[in-house]
Amino acid sequence: MRKGTFVIGIDFGTDSVRAVVADARNGELAGASVAPYPRWAQGLYCDARAHRFRQHPLDYLHAMEASVRAALDQAGSDVAAQVRGIAVDTTGSTPVLANAKGRPLALCPGFEEDPDAMFILWKDHTAVAEAARINSVARTWGGVDYTKYEGGVYSSEWFWAKALHVIETNPAVARAAVTVLEHCDWIPAVLTGTDDLRQIRRSRCAAGHKAMWHPEFDGYPSNEFLARLHPRLPALKATLGSQTWTADVPFGTISPGWAATLGIPADVVVAVGAFDAHMGAVGGNIQPNRLLKVMGTSTCDMLVIPKTGAPEVLVAGICGQVDGSILPGAIGYEAGQSAFGDVFAWFKQLLSWPLLAILPALPGEGHSLRTTLADVTLADAAIERIIPELERAASEIPPARSSVLALDWLNGRRTPDADQRLKGAIVGLDLGTDAPRIYRALVEGIAFGSRAIVERFRSEGLRIDGIIGVGGVARKSPLTMQVLSDVLDMTVEVRAGEQPVALGAAMFAATAAGLHATVEDAQRAMSSGTEARYLPDPERARLYDALYRDYVALGSFVERELTQ
């Protein structure tokens, strides 16, 4: 490998884009930057009560340019001149309906402000009814059950359910749509200037986990199956092709326009895209039989099982299993929780209500409380201290069988057995219950949700030897990591590094550009190592065994009441 060769990893998250400029020899970051989505930050095009979360494509373009340019400015012009590859990851499934040139309809005249013409964010749950119909048809139509490699349960968070919902509810968008593009497929097409749908290299990660693509089916579900859902779907499917690519493969070469915009060489290789959790698993140095949890607003739980001569193990109720979706040549299994960090964000918002709703209206002395110091109000400062103080106080509360118990389905249940109709619950409250006790119950609840995922994998015959944590919650909440270790009765390792997901994208960029022969070689050279290790306490593990049974019973009750 030529000395001084650099790559760019771009990570499109829920709220912002993170870009890193990494040295492909050792993974050291020469530059890093985060840029928020301006329209998303204003709450535009979303309605939380209707579970509608949409993002404008211009947010992606503007934030990507800002983050990459800032990271390159930090790295310096001498580094920018040595960039050899770019790879991107995105949230998913985050599809958009597009025209014949792969242009999202929100970028076309007449659709600029239509949420249905925008990207449908992963956590958008407007397609619950459509997902239920897909599951029903898959089981009753008399042919192949196309959900069998998707865990046997198709989710409202996924590709076909979202496309079907928009087609059925927005006739204007339906008439204008020619294709459907995942976010992770659109960005490489933009960077390479690709506007021929036949030349777009669709991500195997995205297609396999969310769009029911599999070699056994010679691609996507049959036209007959899709036509039973809606007569427009076969035509949309025809634009997808039948082949998919892993993210270590080049998508193409950067376009002259984007090379000039970013200030990088004109021969930079752009890799095929993938989802954030899958590239994050690589950035977190995932190993066989170690469950890696990407812990952010939600979790994506990734497991890699090397291929053998034995038949592939089908795991029910997960988010799909795909050959090459994480590491080429191995089966990548995906599970996860629909709310993880979002649980804490909800509780923080709940406790912040008096500060936000009452303090600004206080007369007299209340005005002085709103004065700014370095642009931070007293209310802002107090709100920022809520989670750290809850963490400190909750850490001093011992777990007890009679304590408050929380069910973590505040954004529905992703795994096991996706069902976005489900709701969270908190039980065991009395007049002595305070905020730290509820917070600890929420921490324990998301740990129990993680255990349910581990139990499902094990019940299907897959071995899990340990846990790897990456992401903001893993690094910021020692309480959550220790409780997770105790609940699972396994060692939890937290990977070092500020941007493990973007670093994973950089590893794929280095492989696609030929700087490393394989993704595993890139991992060995560029990984950040482990910064913390949590060991289970045997006594707490025994206590949590009993509490987990209570959690399962509570979940069964809530599910029965909500779905009967």
Contact yes or no for 292/281 (Cβ under 8 A): yes
Contact yes or no for 275/13 (Cβ under 8 A): no
DSSP states of 509-554: HHHHTTSSSSHHHHHHHH---EEEEE---HHHHHHHHHHHHHHHHH
Q: Name the token pair of 93.
A: 């499934």
Contact yes or no for 334/319 (Cβ under 8 A): yes
Q: What are the two backbone dihedrals, phi and then psi, of residue 8, each rounded to the nearest 5 degrees?
A: -115, 130
pLDDT number for residue 374: 43
Contact yes or no for 251/201 (Cβ under 8 A): yes
pLDDT one-digit tens code per residue, 68-88 = 999 999 999 999 999 999 999
pLDDT beneath 50, residues of the chain: 1-2, 365-367, 369-376
pLDDT number for residue 174: 98
pLDDT number for residue 378: 72
Q: What single-letter DSSP state applies at residue 222? A: P
Output the CA torsion sign for 290, 418, 208, 145: positive
Beta-bridge partners for 119: 55
d(CA 298, CA 414) in angstroms, rounded, equals: 10
Q: Which of 151, 9, 156, 150 is nearest to 72 (CA)?
A: 9
DSSP states of 426-470: EE---TT--HHHHHHHHHHHHHHHHHHHHHHHHHTT----EEEEE
- Count of CB atoms situated within 10 Å of the CB of 347: 19
pLDDT number for residue 62: 98
3-state secondary structure 251-272: EEECCHHHHHHHCCCCCCEEEC
Q: Which of 94, 88, 117, 91 is nearest to 104 (CA)?
A: 117
Residue with tokens 């670093």: 503
Q: What are the two backbone dihedrals, phi and then psi, of residue 546, each rounded to the nearest 5 degrees?
A: -70, -45
d(CA 32, CA 53) in angstroms, rounded, equals: 27
d(CA 389, CA 387) in angstroms, rounded, equals: 5
DSSP states of 295-348: ESSSEEEEEEEE--SSPPPP-TTSS-EEETSSSTTEEEEEEEES-SHHHHHHHH
As a whole number of Å, the end-to-end CA separation of the chain is 61
pLDDT one-digit tens code per residue, 342-388 = 999 999 999 999 888 877 666 654 445 444 444 447 778 889 999 99
The helix or strand, by DSSP H or E, that contains position 389, with its residue range, turns out to be helix 378-395
Q: What single-letter DSSP state applies at residue 148? A: G
Q: Name the token pair of 333.
A: 């299994």
Beta-bridge partners for 337: 299
Q: What are the two backbone dihedrals, phi and then psi, of residue 18, each rounded to the nearest 5 degrees?
A: -115, 130
Q: Which of 549, 460, 482, 157 is nearest to 336 (CA)?
A: 157
- Fill in the amino acid letter for 363: P
Helix segments in 107-251, DSSP class H? 128-140, 159-169, 171-176, 183-192, 204-210, 223-229, 233-238
d(CA 25, CA 1) in angstroms, rounded, equals: 8
Residue with tokens 């959900």: 147
Using DSSP, state whether 476 is helix, strand or coil. Answer: helix
The helix or strand, by DSSP H or E, that contains position 381, with its residue range, turns out to be helix 378-395
